[in-house]
Each structure stands twice: as structure tokens, then as C-alpha cells.
Structure 1
Amino acid sequence: MRLIAWSGPRNLSTAMMYAFGSRPDFEVLDEPFYAAFLKASGADHPMRDAVLADQPTDPEEVAAICAAPPKVHSYQKHMAHHMLPGFPMGWAEGAVHLHLIRHPARVIASYGAKRAEATEADIGFAAQAALYDRIGGLVLDTGDLRADPPRMLARLCAEAGVAYDPAMLRWPAGGHAADGVWAAHWYGAVHRSTGFAGPEGPLPEVDRPDLLAAAMPFYRAMRSRALQP
């Protein structure tokens, strides 16, 4: 079984990859279309040259990697906005799709700490909503996940058709062998972690009300479809 997870950045997507990577029956894949996206879009992201040197930049080559059957199960972490128009999507057929969401205020605050001058395209709420409309799937709000990881992971596994494994609640500090080269810039907090953090506190104030207003309608639409605690 292939479980294909879609999100924007700063949605606990790496922690979820680590959770599934802690299971002996899952292999994990970290944002395989990132270099192809950077080359095709020209986007100026942190560590751009290192990412381009580390991954295939031909989307057809990446699609073949993603379509390969896993030894048992695979968890693939993808950014929805990496799937540019014209990029192949046939590789995703027959998989279980999971959409991770998080309140835009939290995403904007977290993303802004790593990269200034974000746009709505950078945080990907519109792209994710459009992708959901195209392929459907399960939706998990990571705020609910952090409030009760065992319950929400068990619920997710049941919906995805795999047994829940408590090993998903813990991982070693320091990163995962599947981390992309960009982990040095983006994954500091999760590298220091050994499991999911506790419930999130009050929403942070953001200095980009324009970005928050642009993202909220897409978040609300996705939130209405999320797995219930």
C-alpha cells in the first residue's frame, strides 16, 4: 500500500513522515518532486542549488520512483504546490491519499521564521484544496493530531486500511535517513524531537493579515472534511 501525504510547508509533515518511518512495515520518501519543482518554477528557495544537485529534476523520472511498488508499505511526503501544471499524476493512481492541514496563522508564523516574504503560493493552501478536489482522500488537521496523537493516528490508520502501531509515537532524535538535503535548513525542531509535541496553544498573531485572509477560505473548506477526534 502507498500512503501519499499532501500538505503545504510547516504542517507537521516531517513529524508524520518520522512517525510512519518508525514502523518496521513502512518505507518513507521525502518530497521527491522538490528539485523538479525548483527547476521548472525557478523559485528561489533556501538551499536551492543543493536540492537541484541532490534529486532528479525530470518530473517523469520522479514519477517512476513514486510509482514503484514498496516492499510492504510506503509513506510518501509531498508538497501540493510542487505539482506544477503538466507534471504527471498518473503515478498516484491506486494509492491512499492523505491531506495534512494546519491553521494558516500557525503556518505563516512558522514559515516566516525560516523564510521571509512568503506568498500564498509558498504556503500552498490553494494548491492543496485544488488537489483535494481533483483526487480526494483523507484529511487530517494536525492540531487535532497534536491534541491526541494515539487516538488520531489510530483513526487515520483505520481509515487508510493499515493496523495502528504504537511505534509511530516515538522516533530517535537527530533526523531520519530519508531526510532530503534541505533538512539542514527546515528540520531543526523535528530533529530535536522524539515524538509529537503536546497540544498547540493560542493562535499566534501574524504580521501578514493579507496572507492569512487569502489562506483561510481554503483551510476552512479542508477543515470541514477532516477526520473527527
Structure 2
Amino acid sequence: MRIAMWSGPRNLSTAMMYAFAARGDCAVWDEPFYAAYLAKTGLAHPMRDEIIAAGEADPVRVAARLAGAVPGGTPYFYQKHMCQHMIAEIPRDWMGEVTNVFLIRHPARVLASFAAKYENPTLADIGFVQQAELFDEVAQATGAAPIVIDSADIRNEPEGMLRKLCAALGLDFTPAMLNWPAGGHPDDGVWAPVWYGAVHRSTGFAGPEGALPDLSPHYARLADAAWPSYRHLARHKLPPVASSG
């Protein structure tokens, strides 16, 4: 099984990749189209040159690998994708060969976290509109809404929500998904030193989040613009489990 997990930045996406990698039966690939996205757009992201040099800048070759043989011959292949990477030059035909899942997070939380790492983000940078577009494409192609899971629900009850996600995917849940070694993963992208500090210090999912962050007027407007796309997916999310706390 190939699992394509679609999110924007700062969405618990790296922790989720670590959780699936910790199963022991699942290969992972960290942001396969990042190099191609930077090469095509010319965006000046942190470590841009290193990312392009270390990755595959030809999106057609990336797509072939995503739908091809599972690395290492493992039963499962978890692909961590950023929705904002799916610009017009990136092929999408391979998406019919994978099980697509959508990981969402409240726009205010995304912006507060992303703006601390990336100056003056735009709506396109945080991926909400693209995520809703991809969700609708998959729903139209398959005739059913794809799986959606909210990062807040995972942080509130990691085991309960991962059990729900595994059941929706047709996988057996294993408690190994709840913990991983501190210090990162061998399959981290080369950009990990910039973005993955908190998850590298972790050995499992962080606890529930507090109140929504206060945003500057500019970021508040971006959050408002992203809200309809977030709500569109949130209507289809896996129901949260009751807190055990």
C-alpha cells in the first residue's frame, strides 16, 4: 500500500511521518516534490541550493517513483507531501495509484508557527487552497471523500486517532507508532535542520495545544482567507475520540 499524506507546512506532518516509520514495516519519503517545486518556482527558501542538489528536480521521475516499487520491499510506503508543492508543472496522474489522506490544522496555528521560520508568507505558501483543490480532485475521481484527520485531534488523543486512521486505511495499529528515537530520522529531508528542531527533540506526539495564538493583522487576514478551505476538509474529518485526560 502507498499512502500519500497531504498537508501544508507546520501541520504535525513530520511527527506523522515518524509515527509510520516507527512501525517497522513502512518506508517513508519526506516531501518528494520539494526539489522540483523550488527548481520550477525559483523561490528562495532556506537551503534552496542544497535541497535541489540533494533531491530530484524532475517531477516526472519523482511521480514514477511514487507509483513504483516500494523502497526496501516493505508492505507500506508513506509519502509525506506538501500541498503547496503541487504547482501546474507537477504531474498528478500518479495520485490514482496511492491512498490519499489529508492532514489538516487550524490556519491560525499554522501561520503562527510558519511565520516564525519564513518571513512574510503568502496564502499560497501555507497550502490551504491547494489542499482543498486536491481533496476535491480525489473525491471526484474516486466518488467518495478521502480520509481527513485533524492534527489537533491527534495531539489530544494520539493512540485513539492513530487507531482510527489505521482502521480507515485497512492497517493494523501498532503501539510502536506512538514513539520514536530523539534526534531525527535517516529519511529526513536535507532541510531538517531548519524546520524539524522541535520534532527532533521529541520522542512522541506533543500534548494538546492551548488557546489559539494572537496574530498580527496581516496574518489574521491570511488565516481568514485560509479558513474556508480548512472548514471544507474539516467537515469530512475522522471524528475525535473522547479525551482520557
Same fold (TM over 0.5): yes
Partner of 2:98: 95
User: How many angstroms apart in 1 are the aligned matches of 2:136 and 2:69?
Assistant: 25
Unaligned runs of 5+ in 2: 140-145, 241-245
- Structure 2 length normalisation: TM-score? 0.92
Structure 1 residues 1-12: aligned runs within 5 Å: 1-12=1-12
Q: Which secondary structure does the structure 1 equivalent of 2:113 belong to?
A: helix
1:114 and 2:142 correspond: no
- The alignment status of 1:140 with 2:140, answered yes or no, reads no
Provide, for residues 133-192 of structure 1, a one-character-per-residue CA deviation record: whole Å limited to 9, x for no partner. Answer: 001321000000100000000000000111111100000000001000000100000000
- The count of residues paired between Structure 1 and Structure 2 equals 229
Partners of 2:173 and 2:87 lie apart in 1 by 33
| Alignment partners' CA distance in 2, 1:2 and 1:162 | 12
Offset of 1:86 from its aligned partner?
3.4
Q: How does 1:1-229 map to 2 (within 5 A)?
A: 1-70=1-70, 71=73, 72-136=75-139, 137-207=146-216, 208-229=219-240
Distance 1:161 1:80 in 2: 24
Q: Is the 8 A contact 2:35 2:56 kept in 1?
A: yes
8 Å Cα contact 2:108/2:220 also seen in 1: no
- The one-letter amino acid paired with 1:214 is A
Percent sequence identity over aligned pairs: 54
TM-score scaled by structure 1? 0.98
Displacement of 1:67: 1.3
Match in the other structure for 2:143: none
When the two chains are superposed, the root-mean-square deviation of aligned CA atoms in Å is 0.8
Deviation (angstroms), 1:94: 2.9
Which structure 1 segments of 5+ residues have no match? none
